[in-house]
Copies of this chain bind each other. A is one copy, B any other.
């Protein structure tokens, strides 16, 4: 038989309201009573009914994470980060996968909120950019935080990394090593970060006084194959780059594969750099130098932002980190 507040109150010799106060850590409870109540709760192994709390109160002690078609590793990082903050807050996490392109995404979101009465919602890219879903959230006055939104940055609180600076840092790192011909593979055009990373690459070149050479820049699509294709073209160039910087790690893995096939020694003959968006290539081919994307930290910060209940659209930027491995070296040519 599950113990209820009534049982606790009887055992402790206080009113149910007092027990409720202790449970919710409200002020105005004497130390004396608090102890008695906590003792009784422990003795009965009292566990509050989430259902009753939701129904009676305003809060549900639950938040939802809505995520879409990202890589498993990315999603896992997101979940882990949010989870960590939720535990601190004593809040449960409802996982809600969803298709960002589905026409009834908005309905799903609306239904989720109306049914579960979650206290807040965290959106992970690319669901972050669904107008309809956001409208649904706004209409209900539901607090929400977006992680790495691609558009409409002023619309809600959000958390993201500084893609421009990250690409700039990596490019600068290569320049400092002495590279003058640095290839760059652009990410998928439908991803906002792609432009930002390209911009960071150009900014670093500019600052260093190196000319921007369009032929060293190839369009990719965030997948292994497009990385391979781009690398083939770049390495066939008359004055081939001594370093190639790919906008994500799947493409960087493609570059590495091509380098292997061509018998290029890494990093002596070619420096390869990327982002560890999915932390894949870096594990198998440790020689890849990467920008570590602070996914887990962003997620944690997003949850924190939600619980802090700040006013207006607060933006929080999380620092990235350059993981320099043996793969970047001074150019030999």
Q: Which A residues fall within an 8 A CB radius of B?
A: 2, 47-55, 60, 72-73, 75-77, 79-80, 83, 92-95, 97, 110-111, 114-117, 224, 253, 257, 260, 280-281, 283-285
Q: Give chain B residues whose Cβ lies under 8 Å from the Cβ of A79.
A: 95, 97
Complex: how many Å from CA A8 to CA B260? 67
Closest B residue to A77 by CB, please name it: B72
When chains A and B are docked, how far (Å) is the Cα of A60 from the Cα of B51? 9
What separation, in Å, do the CA atoms of A92 and B97 have in the docked complex? Answer: 11
Supposing A95-B79, A95-B93 touch, asked if A284 and B253 sit within 8 A by C-beta, the answer is yes
In the bound complex, residues from chain B placing their C-beta under 8 Å from that of A72 are 72-73, 75-77
Q: Which residues of B contact A257 (CB under 8 A)?
A: 284
CB distance from A48 to the nearest CB of B (A): 6
Which residue of chain B is the closest to A54 with respect to CB atoms?
B51
Residues of B within 8 A of A224 (CB): 283-284
What CA separation (Å) do A114 and B53 show in the bound complex? Answer: 13
Picked from B47, B80, B284, the residue with its CB within 8 Å of the CB of A111 is B47
Q: 24 interchain pairs (CB within 8 A)?
A: A47-B111, A48-B115, A49-B55, A50-B54, A50-B117, A51-B51, A51-B53, A51-B55, A51-B60, A51-B117, A72-B72, A72-B76, A73-B73, A75-B76, A76-B76, A79-B97, A80-B97, A83-B95, A83-B97, A93-B95, A94-B94, A95-B95, A224-B284, A284-B284
